[in-house]
């Protein structure tokens, strides 16, 4: 028979990847982070400052005919 210990506390492995209200490192605003590593709110991510590290390759090149 499958005996499952009901007295076993599931708190042995605390889940970290849980939605939690955190504070943004940029705007210091509280936001709902999807996981533990989420430190930047979605609002700041959409800003240009967040895209500093990302090279803009979508530059409109001058078309030649």
Instruction: Closer to Zn ion by CB, 38 or 44: give it.
Output: 44
* Span of 1-9, 10-18, 41-49, 54-62 interacting with Zn ion by CB under 5 A: 41-49
How far from 47 is each of 9, 41, 65, CA to CA, in Å? 43, 10, 35
Q: Does 24 bind Zn ion (CB under 5 A)?
A: yes
Q: Does 44 bind Zn ion (CB under 5 A)?
A: yes
* Continuous segment of H or E residues that includes residue 42: helix 42-45
Instruction: Closer to Zn ion by CB, 21 or 61: give it.
Output: 21
């Amino acid at each position: 028979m499958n005996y499952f210990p009901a007295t076993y506390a599931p708190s042995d492995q605390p889940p970290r990847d849980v939605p939690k209200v955190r504070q943004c490192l940029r705007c210091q605003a509280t936001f709902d982070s999807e996981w533990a590593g989420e430190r930047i709110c979605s609002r700041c991510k959409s800003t240009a400052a967040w895209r500093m590290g990302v090279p803009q390759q979508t530059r409109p090149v001058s078309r030649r005919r």
